[in-house]
Amino acid sequence: MATESELIDAALKARENAVADYSHFRVGAALETESGEIFTGCNVENATYGLTACAERVAVWKALSEGRRQFRRIAIAADSEALTPPCGPCRQILWEFCGDIPVILGNLQGRRETLQLRELLPRAFDRSFLK
């Protein structure tokens, strides 16, 4: 199992591939599976703006599309003094596919903070309401 610092390093490395020509705000994510594999993602922007893909969702889609279904943690890295948390839609998607996992935030200055997804998305709507 990777250390928190290794997971953040993977997110920082993924961030280097960000396609952020419009916002210039580069984000990287590293999603760890239950078995310890790491799937990374970066944000990918587009001239329509609205079709932008966030780093977190890219990592989730990559892992799901490779058949992984159980996840343990995610790390998110950006160059912001206040640590960048996942946006609202990413919180919903993380809840759907990962549940109440630890979300490790980091920046380029070495600041780190770990939050549970439940803290970021209280009273989440999910499949339990549909039964």
Catalytic residues: 56
Contact yes or no for 73/104 (Cβ under 8 A): yes
Cβ–Cβ < 8 Å for 115, 102: yes
What gap in Å lies between CA 40 and CA 131, rounded to an integer? 33
Nearer to ligand THU, 1 or 114 (CB): 114
Pairwise CA distance, residues 131 & 127, whole Å = 7
Nearer to ligand THU, 8 or 90 (CB): 90
CB closer to ligand THU out of 1 and 87:
87
Structure tokens given for 92: 């919903």
Q: Any idea which residue has 């210039």 for tokens? A: 24
Binding residues (CB under 6 A) for ligand THU: these are 20, 23, 25, 27, 43, 45, 52, 54-56, 76, 84, 86-87, 90
